Chains A and B, each alone.
Chain A
Amino acid sequence: SQQGEEDPQALSIQEGENATMNCSYKTSINNLQWYRQNSGRGLVHLILIRSNEREKHSGRLRVTLDTSKKSSSLLITASRAADTASYFCATFETGGGNKLTFGTGTQLKVEL
C-alpha cells in the first residue's frame, strides 16, 4: 500500500510563482525524501529531511516536516518551466526493513 498521500494530485502555475506540494504519511519514519521524475525518465533525489529536523533548504527548495501531524511540504520558489515534472515524497520507515515507500505524486506544470 502507498505510505504517502500527496496533494494536490496536479498543480499548474505560471513561471516565477511558488509551488507547494504536501505529503501525508502513516507510520513512524527515519527520514522523508522528495524525488522528481521528468516525463519518461527515472526518479531523481532532491532532498532528505530526518525525523528530528523540522525544515531544510536546498537552492530553491524548502522542505518542512511535522512528525506530530505526519506531514511534509515541498516548496519550490520562483518556479521555472524546467521544474515541470512529477514530484514524489518517500518515507524511510523506522524498522521498515530498509526500504523507501513512495507517495502518490504531484504532477507540476509550470507554464511560460
Chain B
Amino acid sequence: DTAVSQTPKYLVTQMGNDKSIKCEQNLGHDTMYWYKQDSKKFLKIMFSYNNKELIINETVPNRFSPKSPDKAHLNLHINSLELGDSAVYFCASSPRTARGNTGELFFGEGSRLTVL
C-alpha cells in the first residue's frame, strides 16, 4: 500500500483554469504538508496542517487554498492558474513522536502541473 498518495500524477491545463490535487496518507500521521518544487528543484513549503488545523501558510497567493477534511487528507485547490504555477507539487506527512515532531517527512510521488 502506498503510504502517501497524490492524484493526479500529471496535470496539463490552460491559464485561468481552476484545478485540484488530492493527497491521502495511510500512516496515521497528524501533520501534513504541501511543498512546491520548481524547475531548478528548489523545494519550498507552502502549507502545513496539524490534525485538520492550518499551522503554516508561507505567503502563498490566496489563489491556492488547501483543504483538510480529516487528518488523513490534505487537498490543494488552485484558482485562476498562471504560467508560474507550473511546478511539481509534493504532499508529505510527518509523525508525532514522544519527543514531539522531529520534522521527518514522508513524501508522495509528486503531481507535475503544467500550465499552458
Contacts and interface: CB of A to CB of B under 8 A. Distances in A.
B62 interface: no
Contacts of B66: none
Nearest to B110: A42
A100 B42 contact: no
Interface in A57-106: 86, 88, 90, 92, 97-102, 104-105
B28 to A, nearest CB: 17
Interface of A: 2, 30-31, 33, 35, 37, 40-45, 48, 86, 88, 90, 92, 97-102, 104-105
A102 B95 CA distance: 18
Given A31-B103, A48-B104, A98-B31, A88 B56 contact: no
Interface in B79-116: 90, 92, 101-110
A33 B4 CA distance: 19
Given A33-B104, A40-B110, 14 more contacts: A30-B103, A31-B103, A41-B109, A42-B109, A43-B92, A88-B43, A98-B50, A98-B55, A98-B101, A98-B103, A100-B103, A102-B44, A104-B41, A105-B41
A62 to B, nearest CB: 19
A45 B102 contact: no
B58 to A, nearest CB: 8
B41 to A, nearest CB: 5
A92 B103 contact: yes
Interface string B17-43: 000000000000001010100000111
Nearest to A42: B107
Interface residues of B, number: 25
B45 interface: yes
Given A42-B110, A44-B107, A99 B102 contact: no
Nearest to B4: A42
B42 A2 contact: yes
B48 interface: yes
Interface string B37-81: 000011111001010000110000000000000000000000000
